[in-house]
Structure 1
Amino acid sequence: MSVNRISTSNAYDGALSNLMSRQDHLTETQEQMTSGKRVIKASDDPTAAARAERARALEERTTSSQKAVDASSNAMTLTESALGDAGELLQQARELLVSAGDASYSDAERASKANAIAAIRSQLLAVANRPDGQGGFVFSGQGSGGAPFIDKPGGVVFQGVGGEVNVATDEPLPLTLDGGDIWLSANTGNGVFVTKNTNSSNAWIDAGRVTSPDQITSSTYDIQFAVSGGTTTYSVLKDGNPVSTGNAFTSGQEISVDGMSFAISGAPANGDDFQTTPSTRSLSVFDSLDYAVAQLSKPGQGGPKVQQAVQDSIRNIDQVNSQISSARAFAGTTLQRLDGVKGRLDATELSAQTDRSSAEDLDMVKALSSFNQQQTGYQAALQSYATIQKLSLFQYLNA
């Protein structure tokens, strides 16, 4: 028969090891309850720690993207507001031009309208140079050393760098728009072709309109008048070559050629010439207003010249206002798109937070139950160790 001998030292060591192990578990649970995290360090649960780290990285990327979206949203809000102000000012200028076409107005009354339009021009220049509150300018394009638009003797020029600045995100989100393109590059004429009164003092031509887009050419057309025996006729020339001759003229009646239609009013004289040329992207907001001011300020102009000046000025104002409206629509559309981007980022951030919480957060109810059990076990182990300490031979002999 064999006898297993268990020394008092071995019993002490076993009890002490059990006690320390329970204490470690109890301390670990206390740390988890204090931090609210089940995974405090990677060794606690490597798989969950890796999952939480991926979720945390996604949160950080999402936060960075949200800051970019906020920056773009603020910039486009400022841009949309500035363009709205510009549109209102241009509408005021248009109303002044319409009233200036009144045949009963004197030179002084038209000059007064010109002064009011000049004041609007100054306000528009201030809008074009509006600061963004961050040390830059709303319409500086890709940047400028100072105000992007400078008023020089030859007209307003753009001193910024053309193009847009976008935030660094997965999709392009603008911080600035190209101010030069918005303010200085509208289509001339009616947007397709330009009508021009070359030399007539007795008649005027309107802005014209497109009747057949597929027939439009890039040619220059001249409408030349001849008056003989009290009868007025006109000829149409295309790039200097006659297309039709001897056409009867009626004031205000539409003249059509190659998909274009326009009306000439008044009483053209012999040799009067009107011209159409293709539109170009070269019309400036400020040049349009300067032209209107200059024309309305001229004294002694007859009714036809005033009508031509007013017609041309209104046509120009409509074109630059259309350019401003298009830019404003783009800013508004961008703001709508930013709302969608922000919603997607919010959903992504919530998903990442949920994933990270699922990986590393502590179930407090479960932790409290576990803590109570561990505390009970620790108390039992402590009492067991105290009992073992009393089982020495000397204690036994002294009993």
Structure 2
Amino acid sequence: MRISSNMIYQKGVGSMQQQWSDILRTQQQLSSGKRVLTPADDPIAAARALEIGQSKGVNAQFMVNAGYAEDRMGLLESKLTGVTDILQYVRTKTVEAGNGVYDETDLSYVATDLRAQFEALLALANSKDGMGDYLFSGYKANEQPFTGNLAGVSYNGDQGTQTIQVSASRYMPVSLPGSDVFGSTRAFGDELISTPAGLANQGDGALGATLTDPADVSLLGRRYEVTYHDDGVNPPTWDIYEYRPDVADRIPVATGVTALDDPAVTAALGFELNLASGTPEDGDAFEVFASSPNVFDNLGMLIDALERPGPSGMAGGAVAVGLQNIDAALENVLKTRARIGSQLVEAQSIQTLGDDLNLQYSESISDLVDVDFVEALSRLAQQQTYLQAAQQSFLKVSGLSLFNYL
């Protein structure tokens, strides 16, 4: 094989350029701290690092979501704490109202105080978050959930629960439908209806009540007065009047009826009344409290009873019923707070787990693409030696030209 001088130069230059290229690549690895500068350097490691990097990004987003969920549930917990405080205060005032030494003036003062608590409770039920979304409207975050007054409060939201994804398989609730918190404080049943006898009754009659099936919720949360009439000549009759917080005078529901369980009366009340036992005397009166699952309706009924006491008085009627309703509302709110508390713990655990997983992902990527500085520095020194040897050998070989002997 014949070797020309041109070939010697080409091979020598090519060899030194390759050595320079190797040195430059090693220097770039050292300056960047990365072993894999391009996918071509290690296709398998580059692909695996990209896959892990994507998983790390998803995990980071889940951590952000978990932080948002924790903030939102912390806000819910704060609002429900306020609800608990108000209900406990209302309970205390209701117990005070049962004090026999309180006259109508004292009771009116208590009622005035409870009116303010009613408005505060309604404001909490209509709370918003930092974005202006209502917390207790379900999916209808832009619609005010509760509207109304002492005469009745209606729920305008839906039953939906907003969620946010905090892991690959976990969607955490970050809102509550107001109907669950404020509108489901008591279960439907005949125990919603209380029929205490008047304090001035002469007979031993007692009323009973049975809810219609299905019950009409709109007819609950109301208070009635039932009076028995018997002149000894005509058949006995009953008069039924309703107390409404927004109406000064009692509203007649049915007068002069001979049977409390008359279908027309039952349809008007939403439940069936009957004389459960005993025999009433002429003029005997009974008070009927038709409690509601809605805490606002029950509170409005209590406040109206404080302002206009019925025949059963405070201790035996309004206070007893009021305490039952308030205790049920408190229990429902505390159960809700317990559920939110467990979700807060879960959100914090998810973030802690996410931090650990993020560290693991970072270490895995580092193992795949980061440079080993000791090995790279040793390789750089070796490559420099190779380059120097190539340069020296090129000088020697290039000096063997025949022209040197002419």
Q: Same fold (TM over 0.5)?
A: yes
State the match for 1:194 in structure 2: 192
Is the 8 Å Cα contact of residues 33 and 367 (structure 1) preserved in structure 2? Answer: yes
For 1:311 and 1:241, the matched residues in 2 are separated by 21
State the match for 1:53 in structure 2: 50
Counterpart among 94, 97, 101 of residue 98 in structure 2 = 101
Alignment identity in percent?
A: 30
For 2:160 and 2:151, the matched residues in 1 are separated by 24
Shift of 1:386: 3.2
Is the 8 Å Cα contact of residues 198 and 273 (structure 1) preserved in structure 2? Answer: no
Shift of 1:184: 1.6
For 2:273 and 2:298, the matched residues in 1 are separated by 29
SS at match of 1:167: strand
Matches for 1:17-96 after TM superposition, within 5 Å: 17-96=14-93
SS at match of 2:36: coil
State the match for 1:394 in structure 2: 403
SS at match of 1:379: helix
Shift of 1:139: 1.6
Matches for 1:300-339 after TM superposition, within 5 Å: 304-339=313-348
Shift of 1:105: 0.6
Q: Any idea what the Cα deviations from partners look like across 1:158-209, whole Å, max 9, x if unmatched?
A: 22232201113421211211122211221158x88335116544489xxxxx
Show structure 2 runs of 5+ residues with no match: 205-212, 214-271
State the match for 1:292 in structure 2: 302
SS at match of 1:383: helix
For 1:146 and 1:29, the matched residues in 2 are separated by 63
2:175 is the counterpart of 1:176: yes
Number of equivalenced pairs: 339
Q: What TM-score do you get using the length of structure 2 for normalisation?
A: 0.74
State the match for 1:159 in structure 2: 156
Shift of 1:17: 1.8
Query: In structure 2, do the counterparts of structure 1 residues 389 and 188 end up closer, same or farther at CA, with 3 Å as the change threshold?
Result: same
Moved more, 322-331 or 151-160: 151-160
Query: In structure 2, do the counterparts of structure 1 residues 152 and 120 end up closer, same or farther at CA, with 3 Å as the change threshold?
Result: closer
Q: What TM-score do you get using the length of structure 1 for normalisation?
A: 0.76
Query: In structure 2, do the counterparts of structure 1 residues 154 and 98 end up closer, same or farther at CA, with 3 Å as the change threshold?
Result: closer
Query: In structure 2, do the counterparts of structure 1 residues 186 and 30 end up closer, same or farther at CA, with 3 Å as the change threshold?
Result: same
State the match for 1:260 in structure 2: none
Shift of 1:34: 1.9
For 1:128 and 1:389, the matched residues in 2 are separated by 93
Shift of 1:350: 1.9
For 1:68 and 1:389, the matched residues in 2 are separated by 69
Is the 8 Å Cα contact of residues 296 and 306 (structure 1) preserved in structure 2? Answer: no
Q: Any idea what the Cα deviations from partners look like across 1:5-63, whole Å, max 9, x if unmatched?
A: 43322222222221111111111111212221111211111111121112111101111
State the match for 1:10 in structure 2: 7
Matches for 1:360-379 after TM superposition, within 5 Å: 360-379=369-388
State the match for 1:356 in structure 2: 365
SS at match of 1:150: strand
For 1:303 and 1:199, the matched residues in 2 are separated by 6
2:114 is the counterpart of 1:117: yes
Query: In structure 2, do the counterparts of structure 1 residues 273 and 302 end up closer, same or farther at CA, with 3 Å as the change threshold?
Result: closer
Is the 8 Å Cα contact of residues 184 and 284 (structure 1) preserved in structure 2? Answer: yes
For 2:112 and 2:287, the matched residues in 1 are separated by 30
SS at match of 2:174: strand
Matches for 1:185-334 after TM superposition, within 5 Å: 185-188=184-187, 193-197=191-195, 200-202=198-200, 270=281, 282-298=292-308, 304-334=313-343
Is the 8 Å Cα contact of residues 144 and 161 (structure 1) preserved in structure 2? Answer: no
Is the 8 Å Cα contact of residues 296 and 309 (structure 1) preserved in structure 2? Answer: yes
